[in-house]
Amino acid sequence: MTAPLPADLTGAQHDLIAGDYTATVTELGAGLRRLRYRGRPLVVEYDADQLPPSGAGQLLAPWPNRIDHGRYAFGGTSHQLDLSEPARGNAIHGLTRWASWSEAAKSADFVQLRLALLGRPGYPFHLELFAGYQLLPTAGLEVTITARNAGSAPAPYGTGSHPYLTAGTEFVDECTLRLPAALHQACDDRGIPVGEPAPVAGTEADFRRPRPIGGLSLDDPFTGLDLDSDGRALVRLSGGDTEIGLWAGPGYDWLQVFTGDPLGPAMRRRALAVEPMTCPPNAFVTGTGLITLEPGETVAHSWGIKIIS
């Protein structure tokens, strides 16, 4: 009997193409492993047989960011999650990043992956999740995350995504950022929000008009987003002759911006993580922006990346 060939760590690879755009989505975590325009990477890429470095391209559900000590109360019951960020004593980035997602639909420019998130200690709820990745010839990548409460009880929910944008510069210091956010949320040294969001006006966190990132270190949530007529907030990152746009659609009321300072040399300040989130860090505890899905209820959120120039 012939031995099966070794499989990649990230499982099946779903390659997409439309116009000048190409992308690859992985079975592992329904993650975005590659996105290019005319052969130029727009996000941090990694090999199919490599785990996503520093969360690159990962989908975050049923919560983004952190839960303080992994403890929260919902529906009158206290819950304790595994501490997936042990160094800081937090539960981080949900429960689906390392799951195997099955193909639900596929074409040359589109893939939809599905995951049944069954109940477990700390999250005794049942969700059906879909991650749809669509490439459009002129509009680039559009990602739609859909969650349905397939269980018998209300469930707490939030989602986010973790792309690292790259404009082709060696370091983000050389890039210019426009971030349409009027409010900045301060956090403690464990990444847990402290106090209420404060106006960015007059602070180093004000990127409402494009300006260089320089040596500024960021790992911060922003809100108070300026929306266009379609209800989208558009972030712009430019470097050299490249400008990339990340848009966050209705319901993505928060953006986490991360310059990667604590990462190893291969990732430190090499790209800018701009993470659309439906709720801020610690939302399972505070309730800020938290979605309660009733049994049978479905919610969908969309975000995307496109080349501007």
Closest CA to 61 of 7, 139, 113: 113
Burial-class residue 109 by CB neighbours within 10 Å (0-12, 13-18, 19+): middle
Reading the block at residue 48, the tokens are 């199919």
Residue 240: per-residue pLDDT: 85
CA distance 48 to 57: 13
CA distance 69 to 80: 8
Phi, psi of 179 (to 5 degrees): -125, 110
Number of neighbouring beta carbons within 10 Å of residue 49? 10
Q: For residues 74, 279, 199 and 191, what is the CA-based torsion angle, rounded to 10 degrees? A: 80
Burial-class residue 277 by CB neighbours within 10 Å (0-12, 13-18, 19+): buried
Phi and psi based region of residue 13 (left: phi greater than 0; alpha: psi -120 to 50; beta: remaining): beta
Q: For residues 255, 261, 265 and 271, what is the CA-based torsion angle, rounded to 10 degrees? A: 30
CA distance 65 to 297: 23
Per the listing, tokens 């995350």 go with 145
Segment-wise mean pLDDT, segments of 10 residues, the chain, 309 residues: 80 98 98 98 98 98 98 98 97 98 98 98 98 98 98 98 96 98 97 98 97 97 97 96 96 98 96 98 98 98 97
What's the residue count for the chain?
309
Q: Are 24 and 36 in contact (CB under 8 A)?
A: no
Which amino acid makes up residue 40?
Answer: R
Q: What DSSP element (H or E) covers 160?
A: strand 160-162
**How much is the pTM?**
0.96
- What CATH number was assigned to the domain covering residues 13-307? 2.70.98.10
CA distance 158 to 188: 21
Strand partners of residue 293:
155
Q: Are 276 and 136 in contact (CB under 8 A)?
A: no
Domain extents for the chain? 13-307
Residue 6: per-residue pLDDT: 81
Q: Are 254 and 280 in contact (CB under 8 A)?
A: yes
CA distance 291 to 301: 12
CA dist 158 → 2, 40, 66, 111, 134 (Å): 45, 32, 11, 22, 22
Residue 1: per-residue pLDDT: 60
CA distance 181 to 236: 12
Phi, psi of 39 (to 5 degrees): 85, -5
Strand partners of residue 246:
235, 305
Per the listing, tokens 């755009």 go with 21
Per the listing, tokens 């938290």 go with 290
